[in-house]
A and B are shown apart, each in its own frame.
Chain A
Amino acid sequence: MTVPVSPRHDETFVLNLGPQHPATHGVLRVKLTMDGEYIVKAEPVLGYIHRMHEKLAEASTFAQFMPNTARMDYLHALAFNHGWALVVEKAAGIEVPERAEYIRVITVELNRIASHLLWWAAFLLDLGGFTPLLYAFDDREKIIDLLERITGSRLTYCYMRFGGVYNDIDDEFIKGTRDFIKRLRGRMPRLYHDLVTHNIILIKRIKDIGIISAEQCRRYGATGPVARGSGIDYDVRKHEPYSVYPEFDFDVPVFNEGDSMARYMVRMHEMEQSMRIIEQALDKLPEGPVMAKVPKVLKPGAGYYYSAVETARGSLGHRLVCNGDKNPYKLKLRSPTFSNLSLYGEVAEGMLLADALALMGSLDLVIPEIDR
């Protein structure tokens, strides 16, 4: 419900939401000018967890930057791994064995489900529902255990290598993944949809709240579930296919309403699509090496390179400029939530505080990724 803000701005006050606030899930600060409980102006203030990864990249070799990528979006770290591997492979012209690409897709999609599960949990926490958090964490824990088995870490993975992956997957992983998909499919309708999605309180709380138009998405460069919730059929995996995604049959869920509920539904459907991709990838998984022959020191040719991947939050782009040296000359990370958050000020204007927080939750912010 958006009510026009009264013109009497002389009685407004400034509310500092953050940098430590339960709803910002990190160190984001939003400077809110409020008129009672209505927001007159919202101004995100960034940079509280800025680590200058772009300078770090210039100071390290291509391979040395790989662990850093996982520390940006710690929820979908493997997609950041993947993006960095892809852009360097593009620049250096490395061919990746097919099995490695399949493994990449499987792990990235598993990680995407984990990311969406955590988003779901945190979103419900923003809305005051605590129990779903634990149910989602129960499922997410299974994914993390699976990924720990093959990558060696639980959250900040450093799994991709230029020309392949660090470690081959084994039968136990394949079986565990299949079991997990079966389990999540079994739990989804009751614990996720009956308990939460169809709940009248939740529907009333997020339906028609925080409407983002397709045009707004384009002007602000919003991608991922935010754009897809506004009726834009844009998914890097379909639109600008990379890796072995063209070989899989999956749909891009698109909802036209543009409200928080639409973004919620997009993510819920995406989990199902990710499961479909994983199942197909496991069925088709080819035999072969998981690592190509790659020189120890990479020196890609001078030039401008761009590569995009679809992370759980939207399109992640790496703009890489090389000058033929063994470290990147310039790396710009186009992080999806940076652009997604930039429309927050415009959309939150005139909303109630609680609705604005529901909107913020539905944008799925990961602060280290915004600040990089």
Chain B
Amino acid sequence: MVVVEQTRVALGTLFPDSHPTAVSSEEDNQGTAPREVGILVTDPAKHGHHIDVLCRPDQVVAVARIMDGEGYFLESISGVDWPDRQQFEIIYDYNRLGGEHCRVMVRTLMDRNQPVVPTITEVFPAADWHERETFDFYGIHFQDHPNLIRILLPEDADFYPLRKDYMP
């Protein structure tokens, strides 16, 4: 648990107001409901990740830099559509290559009508394709991305298939 603690402390600098607390597995099940920006230590056996970070979209790059400094690699970026809350969510999964295992889930929520988030390709080149894929499927715009074009769908597609309101 050394690494988990280290990472939590490193990330804590970004959220001076929140007091990260380890939650027991019973209270842990907070579902997908929105919560305060901050850090949550979760039970990996239940969720598969050790730390759950919710940050503002403008903090994404800062989080990525901290994760880079701590020696993490970017595992994946996934978008989630919440039409009833009029929000998009982006989940960044960070993991460690070797050593003690610690997976960090970084989430950020943004307005569904103006989905803009800064890119982290500067920090992790791995994000390049993952961000393009998220753009491809959700139409989330990654600011300053060097090559934000469709990756899996045809270039001339004019739809975002993973939005919940998309019907083929």
The residues of A with any CB-CB pair to B shorter than 8 Å are: 46-47, 50, 52, 54-55, 58, 87, 90, 217-221, 223, 227, 232-234, 239-240, 301-308, 315, 317, 319, 321-324, 329-330, 332, 334, 338-339, 342-343, 346, 371-372
Contact = CB atoms under 8 A, between A and B. Distances in A.
A244 B95 CA distance: 22
Given A218-B71, A302-B31, A87 B152 contact: no
Contact of A232 (B31, B32, B52, B97): B97
Contacts of B151: 46-47
Contacts of A46: 151-152
B160 to A, nearest CB: 11
A342 B128 contact: yes
A58 B150 CA distance: 21
B30 interface: yes
Contact of B32 (A240, A303, A371): A303
B76 A317 contact: yes
9 contacts: A47-B153, A217-B73, A217-B97, A233-B98, A234-B98, A315-B95, A319-B93, A330-B80, A339-B126
Contact of A219 (B32, B76, B126): B126
B12 to A, nearest CB: 21
B145 interface: no
Interface stretch (B1-9, B13-21, B42-50, B109-117): B42-50
Contacts of B31: 301-303, 323-324
Contacts of B125: 219-220, 342-343, 346
B74 interface: yes
Contacts of B105: 304, 306
B32 A302 contact: yes
A319 B162 CA distance: 15
Given A50-B152, A55-B161, A218 B47 contact: no
Nearest to B52: A304
A219 B124 contact: yes
Interface string B136-148: 0100000000000
A56 B74 CA distance: 25
Contacts of A346: 125
A366 B93 CA distance: 23
A47 B152 contact: yes
Task: Name the residue in B49, B71, B74, B95 with the highest tally of chain A Cβ atoms < 10 Å from its Cβ.
Answer: B95
Nearest to A217: B97
Contact of A308 (B29, B48, B153): B48
B148 to A, nearest CB: 15
B29 A234 contact: no
B37 interface: no
A270 B126 CA distance: 26
A181 to B, nearest CB: 29
B78 interface: yes
A317 B107 CA distance: 17
Contacts of B80: 321, 329-330
Given A46-B152, A346-B125, A303 B74 contact: no
A52 B161 contact: yes
A221 B153 contact: no
Given A303-B47, A305-B48, A330 B78 contact: yes
Nearest to B71: A218
Given A234-B97, A330-B80, A332-B91, 15 more contacts: A47-B154, A52-B161, A55-B162, A87-B48, A217-B97, A223-B97, A232-B98, A302-B33, A319-B78, A321-B91, A322-B32, A329-B80, A332-B78, A342-B125, A343-B125
Interface string B70-93: 010111101011000000000101
